[in-house]
Amino acid sequence: MKYSKATDYALHTMLFLAAATPQKPMGVQQLAERHKVSPTYLSKILTKLVKAGMIESTPGANGGYRLKRDWENLSFLDIIHAIEGSASLFDCSFEHGPDCPIQKVVLSAEEKMEEQLRNQKISELVKDLKIEV
């Protein structure tokens, strides 16, 4: 199982925004330089996070992206779903239905992983970080 680079960049960007400037907008160019990624690519990721209601975009010279008000409650799973969607990682190729023993094992493991990601809040990681802008 592997998450996309977009999810990696989204998680790192959200953590950076939370640790560095939760209330002050930061431009896509500055964020892209920080993470050494294309501004165009990062802009697409940020658009997904805006649509998911996690960050907001402010246009203009002093604009940029910033976290929404209750960002402290954002979990890893929230961010992953915003980028990857919420479809199951496993899709049984056979038509066994819900009684498929393989599907039961994999879905149970997925549920445990999702629970862990749901319980891990971005705000919990911010406490130990010192980020300079």
Can you give the pLDDT at residue 118? 96
Cα separation, 78 vs 63, in Å, equals 25
> Number of structural domains, the chain?
1
Amino acid at the residue 79: I
Does residue 116 sit within a domain? no
The pTM assigned to this predicted structure is 0.86
Is residue 59 within 8 Å of residue 50, measured between CB atoms?
no
Segment-wise mean pLDDT, segments of 10 residues, the chain, 133 residues? 88 92 84 93 96 91 86 94 88 79 90 95 82 57
Q: What is the pLDDT of residue 113?
A: 94
Residue 114 lies inside a defined structural domain of this protein: no
| pLDDT on residue 133 | 52
Beta bridge partners of 56: 66
Q: What's the pLDDT score for residue 56?
A: 92
Q: What pLDDT does 53 receive?
A: 94
Give CB contacts under 8 A, 24+ apart, made by 90-95. Answer: none
Domain of 23, in residue numbers = 5-86+122-126
Confidence (pLDDT) at 131: 63
Q: Alpha carbon of 61 to those of 31, 46, 55: distances in Å?
A: 15, 18, 18
CATH of the domain at 27: 1.10.10.10
The answer to whether residue 49 sits within a structural domain is yes
Q: Quick check: 52 and 38 in contact, CB under 8 A?
A: no
